Amino acid sequence: ARDQGRAETIDFSQEDVPDRLKELTGGRGPDACIEAVGLEAHGAAIDALYDRVAALTFQETDRPHALREAIQNCRKGGTVSIPGVYGGLLDKIPFGAAVNKGLTFKMGQTHVHRYLGPLLERIQKGEIDPSFIITHRMRLDDAPQGYELFKHKQEECIKVVLKP
């Protein structure tokens, strides 16, 4: 995103998110936060403890660490977009903070067909280069192996491109 000149990305495992956001926005907070990780965000130690307790008590909960970060750090009147995938219940969401800040939430599955044409056109024109997220290229026949790599994040897999 940073290389495309459209957004700033922050790796919460490498940087302190609130401090970095304050630095980038002059202390105000971002106008918009996008939580595109969904249930894959396994962040803070407290989340890990909570996950273990939930597993022991047979609760089906997702781990919304990145979503909490977005809510806590978005500026007053800002927007939190959630195209990330959540399959279970969400716990420990600072809903009061979201209400007090007057945040707008936009969420749902990404409408691939709506955006595919314009995105492909921009890729063909060289305006967008998605290659930085492609870590594996495989034959279509090897799709099951590709899905396993992606699902379990093996071999530092981010995205797999399948070719016929």
Which domains are assigned to the chain? 17-107 (3.40.50.720), 129-164 (no CATH)
pTM for this predicted structure: 0.64
The secondary structure of 62-107, three-state, reads CCCHHHHHHHHHCCCCCEEEECCCCCCECCCCCHHHHHHHCCEEEE
Is pLDDT of 3 > 90?
Answer: no
pLDDT at 38: 59
User: For residue range 138-150, what is the model confidence (pLDDT) as tens digits?
Assistant: 999 999 999 999 8
User: For residue range 74-126, what is the model confidence (pLDDT) as tens digits?
Assistant: 999 999 998 867 777 777 889 999 999 999 999 887 778 888 899 999 999 99
